[in-house]
Amino acid sequence: MTLPTTLAIHRGYRECARVTREHARTFHLASYALGPGRRRGAFAVYAFCRRIDDTVDEAIGQPRDVLEAHVAALRTQLDDVCSHRALSDPTLMALRDTIRRFGIERRPFEDLIDGVASDIDLTQIETDADLDRYCYLVAGTVGLMMARLFGVRTEAALSHAIDLGKAMQLTNILRDVREDIVEKHRVYLPATRLRAAGLTRDDLLAPSASPALRQLVASLAGRAHDLYDSAGQGIPLLVSPSGRAATAIMSDSYAEILSVLEAGRWDVLAGRASVSSGRRIQLAVRAIRRTASGH
């Protein structure tokens, strides 16, 4: 590797760190539990995932051919990263370096692009199975990437990593019900559940959640808790002690959002649930101590 290429990769990692710091507070906090090599790799993976999300979001509303061109460009960038072609983008150089160092497969990135691209036409998730598939595509895939980055003792760990990603995405969906329908004109709560509860899209625009909607949210939160429990079973299967700590921090911090929603009696329309910085730090310290003790 020539010196200029080495410098470009380092520059790419620094830019990936900046992107992560600005856009992912919880993830950035969890990264402090990692050693330098894995931390840089986590930043590189996050920055590309963020690029996928932002590219599609910025293209929505434009003509169909423009949208398709944006998605095609992402696929081309992934092709370039996974090949031996020369790269000019330092962040993509950092991603290639990470993928090669830690043996991260290409497929999760492809699935992530498919999942984010599906938002182009999405107005309503239809069934629980559709919701589960969506959560895998846009977040379970990231769990797979990070599991490889942290190292796995057994392939069984990968299913638990997927469950953590799905749990976090489902938590986001429950937190952002109003934001998604008002700003993005999308409903991720399954239509089958809404119909069974006698709810319509208009009910998601009310000042506060009805008893039926609160019950629906509580039920989906139960599903998210089951996924978090599964994720917890996978943490001991990670090779890296720092990776175990970082994973526990992410899991605990996101699960806390469900606790905030529950404290508000599942009124997801009253305001966006959030976890204070102080509380996130408390959870991080607890997670580090728990994984260090082997529990």
* Three-state SS annotation for the chain: CCHHHHHHHHHHHHHHHHHHHHHCHHHHHHHCCCCHHHHHHHHHHHHHHHHHHHHHHHHCCCCHHHHHHHHHHHHHHHHHHCCCCCCCCHHHHHHHHHHHHHCCCCHHHHHHHHHHHHHHCCCECCCHHHHHHHHHHHHHHHHHHHHHHHCECCCHHHHHHHHHHHHHHHHHHHHCHHHHHHHCCCECCCHHHHHHCCCCHHHHHCCCCCHHHHHHHHHHHHHHHHHHHHHHHHHHHECCHHHHHHHHHHHHHHHHHHHHHHHCCCCCCCCCCCCCHHHHHHHHHHHHHHHHCCC
Q: What does the pLDDT read at residue 3?
A: 42
- Domain stop point among 53, 79, 105: 105
**Model confidence pLDDT, tens digit, residues 74-119:** 999 999 999 999 999 999 999 999 999 999 999 999 999 999 999 9
246/179 same-domain check: yes
Can you say whether the dihedral through the CA atoms of 36, 242, 149, 130 is positive or negative? negative
Q: Give yes or no: residues 86 and 180 share one domain.
A: no
**Is residue 112 assigned to a domain?**
no
> How many folded domains does the chain comprise?
2
Our measurement of the distance from residue 96's CA atom to the centroid of its chain's CA atoms, rounded to an integer in Å, reads: 20
Q: Of the residues 105, 140, 161, which one is the last residue of a structural domain? A: 105
Residue 156 and residue 92 in one domain: no
Note whether 234 and 130 are same-domain residues.
Answer: yes
Rounded to an integer, the average pLDDT of 226-245 is 96
Residues linked to residue 152 through DSSP beta bridges, in sequence order: 238
User: Residue 266 is part of which domain span?
Assistant: 122-295
Tell whether 114 is covered by a domain: no
Query: In the predicted model, what is the mean pLDDT of the chain?
Result: 94
Establish if 24 belongs to a structural domain: yes
List, for residues 132-177, the tens digit of each pLDDT value: 999 999 999 999 999 999 999 899 999 999 999 999 999 999 999 9
Dist CA 86 CA 36 (whole Å): 26
Stretch 241-270: mean pLDDT: 97
Token pair of 213 as six digits: 């909607």
Question: What is the pTM for the complete model shown?
Answer: 0.94
**Percentage of the chain with pLDDT > 70?**
98
Q: List Cβ neighbours of 71 (8 Å cut-off, separation of 6 or more).
A: 55, 56, 59, 113, 117, 120
130 and 89 inside one domain: no
For residue 183, give the CATH number of its domain. 1.10.600.10
**Residue 71 domain flag:** yes
pLDDT of residue 62: 84
Q: Is the pLDDT of residue 4 over 80?
A: no
Q: Which of 123, 128, 101, 130 is nearest to 1 (CA)?
A: 101
- Does residue 263 share a domain with residue 126? yes
Is the residue at 116 inside a domain? no
Q: Are 238 and 152 in contact (CB under 8 A)?
A: yes
Question: What whole-number distance in Å separates Cα of residue 118 and Cα of residue 133?
Answer: 11
Angle subtended by helix axes 241-263 and 211-234, to nearest 10: 170
Indicate if 244 and 209 belong to the same structural domain. yes
Gap between the Cα atoms of 9 and 281, Å rounded = 31
Question: Per the domain annotation, does 110 fall within a domain?
Answer: no
Whether residue 238 sits in one domain with residue 155: yes
Half-sphere exposure of 109 (CA within 13 A, CB side): 26
Are the CB atoms for 264 and 175 separated by under 8 Å?
no
Same domain, 11 and 133: no
Report which of residues 121 and 47 the model is more confident about: 47
Q: Please indicate, yes or no, whether residues 197 and 171 belong to a single structural domain of this protein.
A: yes
